[in-house]
Amino acid sequence: MALVKIALAGEGGQGVQSVAEIIAEAAYNEEKQTIYIPNFGLEQRGGVSIAFIQVSDEKIGAPKFDKADVVIALSERAVGRTAHYSDENTLFVYDSGFNADAIDLPEEAKKIIGLPAVDTANKELHPRVFNIIIMGAVIGLTNIVDFEAAKKALESKLGYKFEQNPDLRTLNYKALEIGKKMAEESLKEGVR
Amino acid sequence: MQQVITENKKAFMTGNETAAWAALVSGADIMFGYPITPQNEIMHYWTRLAPQYGRGFLQTEDEISAGFTVCGAVQSGKKAFTATAGPGNVLMQEPFGMAEGMRLPLLAVIQQRGGPSSGTVIYSQQEVTLTTFGGNGEGHRIVYSTATHQEIFDYVIKGFNTAWKYRFPTFILGDGYQAKMREPLELYDPETRGIEIVDTYPLVGLEGSISSADRGPQHLCNIYSMEEELYDVVMEISAEYESISPEVVEYEEKHCEDAEIIILSHGVVSRAADDAVEALRAQGIKAGYFRPITLRPYPEKALRAAIARSGAKKLLIAESAYGQFYRLTRQEIYGETAKIETLFMPGVGIVDNDIVSKVKSIL
């Protein structure tokens, strides 16, 4: 697998870093070279939080990158903050529920994709699994880890919660699957 | 000592966690520290791990105190260390200077953040001057600049040995990226790799007595009455530092045989430089790679030899600071005629494309 660079950005508390960590862990468990670096500015809460992930079969160089293969912006502010990571090879993903007037989408992208992640989480699942839908979407867009490995990583991170409430496991797996399908569909349809 | 790691263990962890594990397998007795981002988790992990293995920790009231408590602990023969960054590194220069003057085997992990002042909590290579030549001494320190988590692990182990073998304060110079990012590495017990752990020993309160002439006086001193006394001490330390330097110095060199341009970098930036050199070579540009692993002592001879061997007309110095590594390098290779070009990106990461574009713009 060639190097895949992902930038995930959202508001503090949206679970961006947790998702990034689970994805990175899953890739590492599949014996891939993996780097995960959190952006950890002074704004621990309430600021835009960015996670940088790189996955490859080969040794990885610099921990940061200028342009990503996939950018996922999970808040209106995050769209503007991450637009410069996008170039003609980038899949730029945002939530289709954002106010179109409030966001500055990047000028350059291979494809700009609006996914109804927030809406789906709220209406079909639970607001808390919004970030797991996003995790599924990352996998759907990049195939950096296979679906089973992702489930396993989720289990190892959240297993203790699943033990207490098995419904949570079903909910999370469902969110993961919906996210993945949503992303795969978007690639087929060429949503812009 | 209780064995920490029985079998080689693959891990996916942060550089800070790596440093704590490395100190543990090195047999460190105690850490003294004061919190500052981005090195906090070294303390956090150490305080989690240390009690399980009978090791100690003390959080002091500030960095000055953390440095001095390490100075005290090592005199009692304890393998002690600290970790800091940015303004904390500034404050620690006072105890680091004492360690230079009294030849104390102190080990400090520095995770560089942006500067000046509080700068950023994120990343830079702006603590090079401070770590190599900080304080009011002569830079009699050993500074390893690491690039990967594996190196953090390897060089913390090696750094303790260097400190106790040569009795010069030793530094593991990392940065915020290395501190915070997660990447794979292998943890191991040093002895299974044939690495002998240098024994620690008390520097004061020794056996025997001076009066019965069992041994000479152990006179550890950081202040002198006469200028000539200080002169003698500094000259002796300088001579010893210079004599051990060839054994201590380390560097990495690639593709310098026929290089038209040699790219110089250190620490995490060398990962980008390595990729950049490969990319340039693939495009038919004869680029070479040279990376000092020890910034003090500097691999001056090896670098001069690489320049001579290659016949390179140009050097490119790339760093996440505004010329700290450049100044360090320039003074070491004074007289070389290869033109020095620079890529200064203070406080921000450098990627291979930055270096590739720069090389293309100057060749």
Closest CA to A67 of B352, B172, B158: B352
pLDDT band at residue B1 using 50, 70 and 90 as cut-offs: low
Poorest-confidence range of B51-65, B196-210, B238-252? B196-210
- Tell me how far apart the alpha carbons of residues B111 and B195 are, in angstroms, rounded to a whole number: 25
Same domain for B176 and B52: yes
Q: Is B231 on the interface with A (CB under 8 A)?
A: no
Tell me the backbone φ, ψ of residue B295, rounded to 5 degrees: -85, -30
Q: Do A42 and B121 touch (CB under 8 A)?
A: yes
Which CATH number covers residue B293?
3.40.50.920
Task: Provide the 3-class DSSP secondary structure of residue A123.
Answer: helix
Which CATH number covers residue B173?
3.40.50.970
pLDDT (0 to 100) of residue A40: 53
pTM summary value = 0.94
Same domain for B143 and B45: yes
Contacts of A2 in chain B (CB under 8 A): none
| Mean pLDDT taken over chain B | 96
- Tell me how far apart the alpha carbons of residues B69 and B89 are, in angstroms, rounded to a whole number: 15
Same domain for B44 and B120: yes
Å between A165 CA and nearest CA of chain B: 28
Q: Is B155 on the interface with A (CB under 8 A)?
A: no
Same domain for B68 and B181: yes
Residue B354 counted as domain residue: yes
Residue B242 counted as domain residue: no
Same domain for B177 and B39: yes
Same domain for B158 and B21: yes
pLDDT band at residue A192 using 50, 70 and 90 as cut-offs: very low
And the tokens for B321? 């600071």
pLDDT (0 to 100) of residue A191: 45
B263 close to B288: Cβ distance less than 8 angstroms: yes
Same domain for B184 and B54: yes
Same domain for B123 and B29: yes
Query: Going by DSSP bridges, is the β-strand pair B30-33/A4-11 parallel, antiparallel, or unpaired?
Result: unpaired
For the stretch B223-258, pLDDT in tens is 999 999 999 999 999 999 999 999 999 999 999 999
Q: Which one of B193, B208, B240 terminates a domain?
A: B193
Q: Which one of B174, B193, B212 terminates a domain?
A: B193
Q: Do A40 and B353 touch (CB under 8 A)?
A: no
Provide the residue type at B195 as one letter: I
Residue B271 counted as domain residue: yes
A37 close to A63: Cβ distance less than 8 angstroms: yes
The radius of gyration of chain A's CA atoms, rounded to the nearest angstrom, is 15
Q: Is B96 a residue whose pLDDT tops 80? A: yes
Task: Provide the 3-class DSSP secondary structure of residue B324.
Answer: helix
Give the one of A28, A37, A40 whose C-beta lies nearest to B12's C-beta: A28
What percentage of chain B exceeds 90 in pLDDT?
94
Closest CA to A5 of A49, A51, A53, A56: A53
pLDDT (0 to 100) of residue A190: 54
Comparing alpha-carbon positions, the chain B residue that sits nearest to A43 is B121
Residues 115-134 of B with CB under 8 A from A: 120-122
Residues 48-107 of A with CB under 8 A from B: 60-66
And the tokens for B10? 């693959």
Residue B46 counted as domain residue: yes
For the stretch B119-158, pLDDT in tens is 999 999 999 999 999 999 999 999 999 999 999 999 999 9
Report the length, in residues, of chain B: 363
Å between B321 CA and nearest CA of chain A: 16
Q: Find all residues with CB under 8 Å of A115, minimum gap 6, and list them.
A: A93, A94, A95, A96, A137, A182, A183, A186
Residue B205 counted as domain residue: no
Contacts of A41 in chain B (CB under 8 A): 120-122
Please count the residue pairs, one from chain A and one from chain B, whose beta carbons lie less than 8 angstroms apart.
Answer: 66
Q: Which one of B193, B211, B233 terminates a domain?
A: B193
Residue B132 counted as domain residue: yes
Same domain for B257 and B188: no
B26 close to B156: Cβ distance less than 8 angstroms: yes
- Tell me how far apart the alpha carbons of residues B190 and A143 are, in angstroms, rounded to a whole number: 38
DSSP state of B117: T
Q: Is B17 on the interface with A (CB under 8 A)?
A: no
For the stretch A29-74, pLDDT in tens is 999 999 999 875 554 555 788 999 999 999 999 998 999 999 999 9
Q: How many other β-carbons are positioned within 10 Å of the β-carbon of residue B217? A: 7
Poorest-confidence range of A58-67, B204-213, B218-227? B204-213
ipTM of the complex as predicted = 0.87
All domains of chain A in start order, with CATH: 4-189 (3.40.920.10)
Same domain for B147 and B68: yes
Q: Find all residues with CB under 8 Å of B335, minimum gap 6, and list them.
A: none
* Total domains, chain B: 2
Same domain for B264 and B183: no
Residue B347 counted as domain residue: yes
Q: At what angle do helices B300-310 and B324-332 cross, to 10 degrees?
A: 80
Q: Which domain holds residue B269?
A: 252-362
Half-sphere CA count of A22, side-chain side, radius 13 A: 28
Residue B232 counted as domain residue: no
Query: How confident is the model over A4-25, as a mean pLDDT?
Result: 92
Same domain for B300 and B158: no
